[in-house]
Chains A and B, each alone.
Chain A
Amino acid sequence: MSAGAVSGGAVSAGARPVRLHLPAQLRELAGAPAEVGLLVQGPVTQRTVLDALEALHPGLVGTLRDRRTGRRRAFVRFYVGEEDLSNASPDDLLPEAVARGELAYVVVGAMAGG
């Protein structure tokens, strides 16, 4: 795992607690609560947060990002507070409030019902 969630293993010093909010369909798929607690080591970016999520819940691999390219699926959006980060670089640092666990990183199924 690149930056790494910790799912029962030892927690390295400096791991950051990140809260991630999942949409209902993925909660059921993962058997996870609405808000998943992650421990992210190293820089807290969209990529490292999603890597941590997928390490903790492997059944979610491919549901948010293309397995091959790593690109966000077209109808998945990522928010922090009111800010839509869906098109931001996955390697940009997320706001410090996310890295401190004060704000949740939110995964949303886009409005695409026609």
Chain B
Amino acid sequence: MSGVRLLVGTRKGGFVLTSDEARRNWQVQGPFFAGWEVYHMAASPAAPERIWASQSNGWFGQVVQRSDDAGRTWAAVGNDFHYADGGPADHLFYDGTPRPFEFTRVWHIEPSPSDPDVVWAGAQDAALFRSGDGGMTWSEVAGLRAHPSAAGWQPGAGGLCLHTVLLSPLEPERLVVAISAAGVFRSDDSGGTWKAANRGLSSGGVLADPDAEVGHCVHHLAAHPSRPETIYMQKHWDVMRSDDGGWNWHEVSGDLPSDFGFCIGVHAHEPETVYVVPIKSDSEHYPPDGRLAVYRSRSGGGEWEPLTRGLPQEHCYVDVLRDAMAVDTLDECGVYFGTTGGQVYVSADGGDNWACAARDLPAVLSVEAQVLA
């Protein structure tokens, strides 16, 4: 009988939630790395017992750990994230002054879909790292910061972070990353060279040139593995869609009550079914009217329906952060998200009905779902 394992990163440690395929009863293990901020935990599709965790705190910095036994034991991998020589020394700080690129933390870990020893790490300050030896050594993918715009990248409110890495099994040399608040960049030669992929994004009121090549506050990207050309984006404002792998974007916010938000997800079996959690505004990070709702579009955006059954519909003032939504690949697609209030919500029926799998965790930073054989 199969089951599901959720990897939940929080402000004060990592948690592992497990259930059988009914996804009704959840066992909670943790906290792992108690007291550390766990920005992300991710499992290798090629070796499901191998799990990565990115932990950091203000005292002791950033550590990536790896478990090869599904989280029972952990060990620090090599943690020398050294920026490559030759890249720009500085980016722009909030006030427009130059600020040196400095490694702070790993926001996102993206294991290779085929090789358990290959893993990518998205870092703050914006850089992409790759390990080909199970994390023992890391090399910056220097071509990204060689992009001529890099010296002009400015941080979003959370820092100058590379938070999204899209890999495609169908296009193994393609990499798509997103940086807040620089935008989307795409490589078609395994990271050797990169182009900005932000045409069609519009950031009026934020950028002097609302259609600038870079400078857009992209919050998250999602794509279905079978459709690498179709990418969905939750931008600071606007839900966007590209049908050419990121080169051109158009808005699909449609009838959402707010097109501000952080997370976005795609149904495991329906590439045109998309999920977002609208947040009221950039200054009020909670659901409109204090009612928590996932919005689902079955048409690839544009038309959205609220999914509220089982979610709090009054006095709810949590946020759902960019990496805190996931789907599973069971026949009836499971959808999951975690909140800054410490709840992990589960739908075992594609979003129609929701239940709380854990209620009082620390603020949730990330959720990943694994289907267990």
Contact residues of A with B, CB < 8 Å?
A: 23-26, 28-29, 58-59, 61-64, 67-68, 73, 75-76, 109-110, 112
Residues of A contacting B35 in the complex (Cβ-Cβ under 8 angstroms): 24-25
Assess the B59–A110 pair: CB atoms within 8 A: yes
Residue of A29, A64, A75 with most partner-chain B CB within 10 A: A29
A29-B76, A67-B80 known; A62 vs B61 contact (CB < 8 Å): yes
Q: Knowing that A29-B65, A67-B82, A73-B61 are A-B contacts, what are 17 other residue pairs whose CB atoms are under 8 Å apart, sorted by A's residue number?
A: A25-B34, A25-B36, A25-B57, A29-B63, A58-B76, A59-B63, A59-B76, A61-B79, A62-B62, A62-B79, A62-B80, A63-B61, A64-B60, A75-B59, A109-B60, A112-B58, A112-B59
A29-B63, A63-B63 known; A75 vs B76 contact (CB < 8 Å): no
Residues of A contacting B82 in the complex (Cβ-Cβ under 8 angstroms): 67-68
Residues of B contacting A110 in the complex (Cβ-Cβ under 8 angstroms): 59
CA distance A17 to B226 in the complex (A): 60
Q: Majority SS of interface residues in chain A? A: loop
Assess the A26–B34 pair: CB atoms within 8 A: no
Within 8 A of A (CB), among B26-67: 33-36, 57-63, 65
Determine how close the nearest CB of chain A comes to the CB of B36; give it in whole angstroms: 7
Determine how close the nearest CB of chain B comes to the CB of A14; give it in whole angstroms: 31
CA distance A112 to B61 in the complex (A): 14
Minimum CB distance partner of A110 in chain B: B59
CA distance A112 to B65 in the complex (A): 25
Assess the A76–B60 pair: CB atoms within 8 A: yes
Determine how close the nearest CB of chain B comes to the CB of A82; give it in whole angstroms: 21
Residues of A contacting B60 in the complex (Cβ-Cβ under 8 angstroms): 25-26, 29, 63-64, 73, 76, 109
Minimum CB distance partner of A24 in chain B: B35
Minimum CB distance partner of A66 in chain B: B61
Assess the B59–A59 pair: CB atoms within 8 A: no
Minimum CB distance partner of B62 in chain A: A62
Residues of A contacting B63 in the complex (Cβ-Cβ under 8 angstroms): 29, 59, 62-63
Determine how close the nearest CB of chain A comes to the CB of B164; give it in whole angstroms: 25
Residues of A contacting B57 in the complex (Cβ-Cβ under 8 angstroms): 25
CA distance A29 to B82 in the complex (A): 21
